[in-house]
Structures are given as structure tokens and as C-alpha cells.
A and B are shown apart, each in its own frame.
Chain A
Amino acid sequence: MTDFEWPWEYTFPPFFTLQPHEETRQQQLKVWSDLFLKYLKHSNKFTLNINEQDLPLFHNESLKRRLPPEFVLTILEHLQRSGHAAPLDKRRQEWQVYWYTLDEYGNMVYEWVQETGQVNSVCTIYEIAKGENTTQCQFHGVDEAVLVNALRLLEEKGKCELIELDDSHGVKFF
């Protein structure tokens, strides 16, 4: 893994304290949200537990500053509002984070299906996420659980139908 390029804010000590001033806080949350997405994409992660205290994202060791769990939660809720995250458990400890929103994923997959003429045929989830045919696509390598969520959204729009297979899913596009 190549070195991650941190934004300058990561070396700014008060960045790790939620700011009381409204405008400053909005700006701060925006930078953190972008940083979360970039960091997770860089480290190929789709889930976050708010208690992973040793994650460099939550802990700048040289600066001796930590992102407290309640602050992490605030950022994740901010991401949730823009469609980039969803809690996986009721206690909101474990989160699924989307580099792209589910909508964007759905559209990307559907475009790929149309371009490659696979409308009315059945694909497996594995094929879409990890298959050889999608290596050039931006959604390649997507977490399968995330992909299923995106396809469910597409299903609601009547553009595909999910089919239960033994322990996985297949999908038929219309």
C-alpha cells in the first residue's frame, strides 16, 4: 500500500475537537467526511467500527490527538445524510461506508450492463464485483454486501431483479 496523503488539517490539532462555531463545524465535518471516504478507498475498506481506536484515521500518533468515538459517530452520521454510509447494527457501532453512494453504484453497474449488452441476461454478484470483465470499471472490487444494497435500490426502480442463489445472489437486468 502506498503512503496515504493526509490533508493539512490532519496536522492541525483542533481538527480533532468538534468545533462549536456552526460554520467552522460544517467545514470541519466536510473535510473529515472527504478524508474518511478517501482513506477507506485507499485502504480498500468498506466497514468501520467507531471503536477502532488504533486506526491512523482516528489517531494521529505524532500529534497525540485522537478522534473520540462520539466524534466518529457524528462524522458517520454526516456521511449517512449524503448517502455515503449506513449503520450495520442498532447500536450504531459498525458502519458500512460507500465510496460512491448506492445510487451512483447502481447507475454505474446499469451503464456497464447496457454498454456490454447484458440486458435480459443473468449475472452473479461475484462476476460484477470481481469478474475479469469489470476490471476497468470504477465499481470493480466493491464489497459484495454494498453491491447487493445498490442493486436492491435498482430493483426498486424496476431495472433489475435479484435472484437468491445458494449462498449468494444473482441478478437479472431489464
Chain B
Amino acid sequence: MRRRVGLGAIQQQKLAAEKYKDKGTDLQESQLEQMTKQMEVFRVKLEEFAMKHKEDIRKNSQFRKQFQEMCAAIGVDPLATGKGFWSVLGMGDFYYELGVQVVEACLAANHKTGGLMELDELRRRLIAARGQSAVHQEITNEDILMAAKKLSIFGNGFVVHKLGKGKYIVQSIPGELSMEETNILTAASNTEQGFVTQKQLMRDLGWTEYRSKQSLDKVLGEGLCWIDMQANDEPSYWFPSLFPGRTAQNSTG
């Protein structure tokens, strides 16, 4: 067969391409329409769901956690919107309230903890602070994390640090914790009593003597830890926020 050449053939090809394009746009449009419809239905259903289970979400921590996970999966942040249909949930209020309480609890203990508090302790304090009337409003660590993370928009005065293995520590004094400091905290939180020494850092983190000393001096200089000069061989650096004896006696006495 002869190859098709010439103006006619080019025009024909062009025409075909245009037709394909038109069809493609059509398809896209109908798909978008369908998607929009689906989303609308989904939104209505979610709203219905939220309305129906409002009380459950507010009061049942397990339920709330699952609802949060669901929202996270579809990319919705119930906290980001105080207005709109999410406000019917009062989810925002729940976390705003919790956020304020987190700040209160942390600031009240700042002089004792040096501005660092373990998440578990924070939770205990919050539950105690919320009192009898809120007994049914159980709060989980996830709730506190959610509320505390929102507080970071106020600047670096309030930060949540992950110390590995599901351990978190909430920092309630201004100032960034450097990588070094976070590493030291992690090392300390892995000990029973919550302290580190220079040798321990050199051994566990592979740091040089100089680096260990510098970092420890910095942590001490910021008032995050206490130094003990009466230990056997070398000074040890203690974090009141990680010292188990502090809360053990509080709960009994």
C-alpha cells in the first residue's frame, strides 16, 4: 500500500487527534462530576455520622481515636475548622479545652520539672485536674498529643518531642531543643532513674569526650537537668521530669 502523504493525510490525522481529545475531556468531566457527587454524598454521610455519634466521639476515647484515624486517612483535620459543619461536632472545642489545660498543667509544674514533662505524667495530671465531673470524658495520650501539637503554632514555647518507643516528652519552656539535647533526653529516658553521664553518652551514642561534655554543659546551663557531684566516679546529670521517685511519692502522699 502506498504511504499516505500530503496535506489531506495531515489534516485527517489532526482531526482524529482532536476527536480523541474531545472524548478524553468528556470522560474527564463525567468522572469529575461523578467524583463530586460521591464526595457530596460522602460529606453528607460523614456529617450524619458525626451528628449521630457526637456524644460518643466526645466521650469515648476509643471511638474518638478511630474517628481521628478515619479523618486523617481522608485528609480532613477536624481541628483546623472551627466553623463549617465540623463545628457541629464540637471536636475543636474539646481539643481547645484540652490544649488550655495542657498549658496550665505544664506551667504549674515548670519550677519542678524544669519545663519538661513526660506524656504519661501529663495525662495523670490532666485527669486529676479535670476532676470528678469529667470522669466520663476519658482522655488518651493521643488526645493530648493532638492538643499539644496544635499549641506549637504559638511559637517554640511549647513542643512535643518523641523519645522513641512511644515515649513522648512535652517541653513547656521557650527555646529549641537541639538534636544533641533530644539525644541526651532519649538516652536518659532509657535509664531507670532518668540520668546520664559523660561516659554513658560516649558509649551509647558514640560521641567524643568533647562533644559529650559540651552537650551536657548546655543542657545543664539551660536548667533542664540537675548535676550530682557525689556519684562514685563521675558527675551524673539528672532530669527531674524523668525521675520516677518524684511521681511515686506524689501519688502516695
* Chain A residues at the B interface, C-beta cutoff of 8 Å: 5, 7-8, 11-17, 19-24, 27-28, 64-66
Contact of B132 with A by CB under 8 A: no
Residues of B within 8 A of A28 (CB): 226
Leading 4 A-B pairs by shortest Cβ distance: A14-B226, A14-B228, A8-B249, A21-B223
Give the CA-CA distance A28 to B240 in the complex, in Å.
Answer: 12
Residues of B within 8 A of A5 (CB): 253
Give the CA-CA distance A64 to B230 in the complex, in Å.
Answer: 8
What would be 5 A-B contacts, judged by CB atoms less than 8 Å apart?
A5-B253, A8-B245, A19-B226, A21-B222, A24-B223
Residues of B within 8 A of A17 (CB): 226-230
* Residue in chain B with minimal CB distance to A11: B245
Residues of B within 8 A of A13 (CB): 195, 228, 230-231, 236, 238
Give min CB distance, A139 to chain B, whole Å: 28
Question: Once the chains bind, are B226 and A12 in contact (CB under 8 Å)?
Answer: yes
Number of chain B interface residues as a range: 20 to 34
Residues of B within 8 A of A20 (CB): 220-221, 227
Do A19 and B227 contact each other (CB < 8 Å), given the known contacts A5-B253, A12-B238, A24-B114?
yes
* Residue in chain B with minimal CB distance to A31: B112
Question: Once the chains bind, are B230 and A65 in contact (CB under 8 Å)?
Answer: yes
Give the CA-CA distance A24 to B114 in the complex, in Å.
Answer: 8
Contact of B95 with A by CB under 8 A: no
Do A15 and B226 contact each other (CB < 8 Å), given the known contacts A5-B253, A24-B114?
yes
- 1/0 per residue, CB under 8 A from A, across B86-115: the answer is 000000000000000000000000011010
Question: Once the chains bind, are A12 and B221 in contact (CB under 8 Å)?
Answer: no
Give the CA-CA distance A8 to B245 in the complex, in Å.
Answer: 6
* Residue in chain B with minimal CB distance to A8: B249
Residues of A within 8 A of B245 (CB): 8, 11-12
Give the CA-CA distance A10 to B242 in the complex, in Å.
Answer: 16
Give min CB distance, A23 to chain B, whole Å: 5
Contact of B246 with A by CB under 8 A: yes
Contact of B250 with A by CB under 8 A: yes
* Chain B residues at the A interface, C-beta cutoff of 8 Å: 111-112, 114, 195, 220-223, 226-231, 236, 238, 240, 243, 245-246, 248-250, 253
* Residue in chain A with minimal CB distance to B232: A64
Which one, B111, B222, B228, B246, contacts A16 given CB within 8 A? B228
Give the CA-CA distance A65 to B253 in the complex, in Å.
Answer: 23
Question: Once the chains bind, are A12 and B246 in contact (CB under 8 Å)?
Answer: yes
Residues of A within 8 A of B228 (CB): 13-14, 16-17, 65
Give the CA-CA distance A172 to B218 in the complex, in Å.
Answer: 60
Residues of A within 8 A of B221 (CB): 20-21
Since A8-B250, A12-B226, A65-B230 are in contact, a sample of 4 more A-B pairs with Cβ atoms closer than 8 Å, ordered by chain A residue number, is A8-B246, A11-B245, A21-B221, A64-B230
Which one, B230, B231, B246, contacts A66 given CB within 8 A? B230
Residues of B within 8 A of A7 (CB): 249
Give the CA-CA distance A91 to B245 in the complex, in Å.
Answer: 37
Question: Once the chains bind, are A12 and B243 in contact (CB under 8 Å)?
Answer: yes
Give min CB distance, B252 to chain A, whole Å: 10
Question: Once the chains bind, are A16 and B230 in contact (CB under 8 Å)?
Answer: yes
Residues of A within 8 A of B250 (CB): 8
Question: Once the chains bind, are B227 and A14 in contact (CB under 8 Å)?
Answer: yes
Give the CA-CA distance A65 to B229 in the complex, in Å.
Answer: 10
Give min CB distance, B72 to chain A, whole Å: 39
Residues of B within 8 A of A24 (CB): 114, 223, 226
